Structure 1
Amino acid sequence: MNEHTDDISTDETTQRKHAAMIDRLSNLHQARISTKTNSKDPTFESTQSFLTTFTNSKQSIESSLTQIQQIPNQDPNSDLERISNSISDLEKLVAENSYFLPPYEVRSSLKTISDLKQTLDSVTSKVKPRKKFSFKNKPTKKQEPEPKPKPESESEPEHKTSYTINDSPGFRGTENAILTKEFTGSEIREFVLSDLTNCEVKLKGRFRTLFINRVRNCKIYVGPVSGSILIEEAEGCLFVLASHQIRVHEAKLTDFYLQCRSRPIIERSCGVRFGPYRLCYDGIETDLKESNLYEDTGNWANVDDFQWLRAIQSPNWSILPESQRIDMVKI
């Protein structure tokens, strides 16, 4: 093993739960405004400001999709990639601002992004009929074998994913490794975990945003994330995470140990289980307090399944029995 340092029911109960969730998000937003000083954070802190920027970006992407069909291009690859990157940026925008947005706006924005992805695939099949272009590229086999980049190389990703940010630090394209990283001092803007298999990841310190994409049979332990964690395509994994907002897309047979200010959101997932946060390292109490995540709200047990709109419990997730929960993990 190599070692490297570094997710509609009209029933009255359901309505009350959603109303309580909206109140909690509103209270969180007001608390952040009252405590925020001298910040250079570019997030909007205003639903209307976010919606204006989101709508302008959406309209720009739709205009580009229309134009690429009306004006033939012998080599549309660059245009298609530019549009794909714009959609990824829009998804990143939602992830970074979802901690203060009303749940309805989060769901509506994610639905818009999903529609844009489908439109891009449809347009691609028309302008490139011989070779289908997918919004999310899977790793491709190389004609000649090349050595894998070392995990500590955090500049260029080996494979492009829907959350790839070229200049963001992260671990990408790695198998059978222990990956550790410790950040001290100021909060890290964002971190990326992508295309990992059979890895153990240990991240110490404070983060603003965490993107996790295509991980399989991994154990991932992360310090507090003051903004959002967005997970897509996880199978057979174990996550220990603390964040204001956690959203999970396409996860299966995976356990989550969480501490979060808002209700975790899952979508297109099955066989996922939830328990309380189980992470310990020197200085974690300070990191949790500075990220406003020190208090256990119990929201780890209040999961919203966006694919399950009935009043009864979703069959896609469950609470981890106490007898099956892991012990406190020290990293």
Structure 2
Amino acid sequence: MEADGDSLERHGRLPERLQKREQDRQRDAERKRQEKEGQVVLEEKSGYFRDSFGPEREAIDELLTGNGGGEEPGALEEVSARLQVLQKLLNDSMMFLPPYDIRQAQDTLTRLQAALEGKRQLLQPKKKFAFKSRRKAAAPASDLQPPGVGQPDASDLQPPAPGVSQPDPSSSAAVCDLQGLTGQVLRMEAAELRQKDVLLSQLRDCTITLRGSPATLHLRGLRDCRLLCGPVSSSVLVDGCSGCVFAFPCQQLRAHSSSDTRFYLHVTSRAIIEDCRGLSFAPFSWSYEGIGQDYEASGLDRDRNNWSTVDDFNWLARGAVSPNWSVIPEEDRITRWN
């Protein structure tokens, strides 16, 4: 009888075991179904990105290299606006695109932006200016502004120095270009920067303050400079810079071939670095009167900041932090900028 009792108990547990096995099978089937659906969604999103990005890139190329070569009225402004749309499309797609596709798309955007800048420099009339040196300590801050911030007096107009060229303040072209300067204190205000493409190149030991909301910001070959900039509507591209301190909000940051530079960053997508070393990051902490309006003009989300999310294209090891960048310790961060 005891044996019969054990048998009945085992038979009693049998449906329970079968039920558990069936539940496990259903969970496994549901997991596979969700994975399959997720893969389909990713493929659909990737396909949408490719179908949207490719034709728009071709349209921009046509505007820059077609019959008019970008010389038609408004053509370059249209290119700038379409580049911002492409950059936003890429930023919104980074969560599901593979790293190779992201890199190819960003390289394309960089190439198109460089072509746009080249066209603007060819078509835009230039005037030559010299800036007052920061060594003139007695000069008031209002005298240390670049062209377009007030009118320079006769003593400010000097013979052009090699490699130093500035846009005509009366020009309507949507670009600001400062290059080839050493030891200067430079400042531009909101009216000059609003939705302009700003290019700073080959600057040494300069302090640059940009109070406003430019469309894009390009920093090339800066050495031992400090830059404070208001909200940038789309991308900031940093190339060949070293020993600098940069502070700005933006939609997307890409740094290339740069070293030993600190970023105080507000970025709404993800920062990308390539061929860099010794970069460090902290949250954006600069402020000025009117920055709220500039945030609104830029369209950036003040509540979304991915300052410590950095993708290193030279470090693809999963689960290991890249040695090419770090977070600035709180005790070492700049909190007072003036």
Q: What is the RMSD of the two structures over their aligned residues, measured on CA atoms?
A: 4.1
Among all aligned residue pairs of Structure 1 and Structure 2, give the percentage whose two residues are the same amino acid: 31
For 1:112 and 1:149, the matched residues in 2 are separated by 34
Choose 1 or 2 for highest CA Rg.
2
Residue type at the aligned position of 1:215: L
Instruction: Tell me which residue corresponds to 1:329.
Output: 337
- Select the structure that is richer in helix: 2
Instruction: Tell me which residue corresponds to 2:163.
Output: 158
Establish whether residue 273 from structure 1 lines up as the match of residue 269 from structure 2.
no
Establish whether residue 263 from structure 1 lines up as the match of residue 270 from structure 2.
yes
- Judging changes above 3 Å, is the alpha-carbon distance between structure 1 residues 159 and 181 closer, same or farther for their aligned structure 2 residues? closer
The answer to whether the 8 Å contact 1:96/1:228 transfers is no
Q: How many residues align?
A: 231
Q: CA deviation at 1:320?
A: 0.4
Instruction: Tell me which residue corresponds to 1:286.
Output: 293
1:237-252 to 2 correspondences below 5 Å: 237-252=244-259
**Which runs of 5 or more structure 2 residues have no equivalent in the other structure?**
1-37, 65-78, 113-117, 119-127, 132-145, 149-161, 166-172
Q: CA deviation at 1:111?
A: 4.9
Establish whether residue 234 from structure 1 lines up as the match of residue 249 from structure 2.
no
Instruction: Tell me which residue corresponds to 2:103.
Output: 107
Return the structure number with greater relative CO, CA threshold 8 A, min gap 6: 1
Q: CA deviation at 1:167?
A: 6.6
**Which runs of 5 or more structure 1 residues have no equivalent in the other structure?**
1-18, 27-44, 62-89, 117-135, 137-147, 161-165
Q: Secondary structure at the match of 2:199?
A: strand
1:78-227 to 2 correspondences below 5 Å: 97-101=86-90, 102-103=93-94, 104=97, 105-111=101-107, 149-150=129-130, 152=146, 158=163, 168-184=175-191, 187-227=194-234
For 2:198 and 2:235, the matched residues in 1 are separated by 11
Report the more deviating stretch, 210-219 or 188-197.
188-197
Q: Secondary structure at the match of 2:89?
A: coil
Instruction: Tell me which residue corresponds to 2:28.
Output: none
Q: Secondary structure at the match of 1:107?
A: helix
For 2:109 and 2:86, the matched residues in 1 are separated by 15
Q: Residue 54 of structure 1 is aligned with which of 34, 57, 63?
A: 57
Instruction: Tell me which residue corresponds to 2:22.
Output: none
- Judging changes above 3 Å, is the alpha-carbon distance between structure 1 residues 317 and 171 closer, same or farther for their aligned structure 2 residues? same
What TM-score do the two structures reach when normalised by structure 1? 0.58
Q: CA deviation at 1:206?
A: 1.1
For 2:204 and 2:178, the matched residues in 1 are separated by 11
Establish whether residue 313 from structure 1 lines up as the match of residue 321 from structure 2.
yes
Q: Secondary structure at the match of 2:317?
A: coil
The answer to whether the 8 Å contact 2:221/2:239 transfers is yes
1:7-46 to 2 correspondences below 5 Å: none
Instruction: Tell me which residue corresponds to 2:122.
Output: none
Q: Secondary structure at the match of 1:191?
A: strand
For 1:308 and 1:95, the matched residues in 2 are separated by 28
Report the more deviating stretch, 52-61 or 221-230.
52-61
- Select the structure that is richer in strand: 1
The answer to whether the 8 Å contact 2:174/2:195 transfers is no
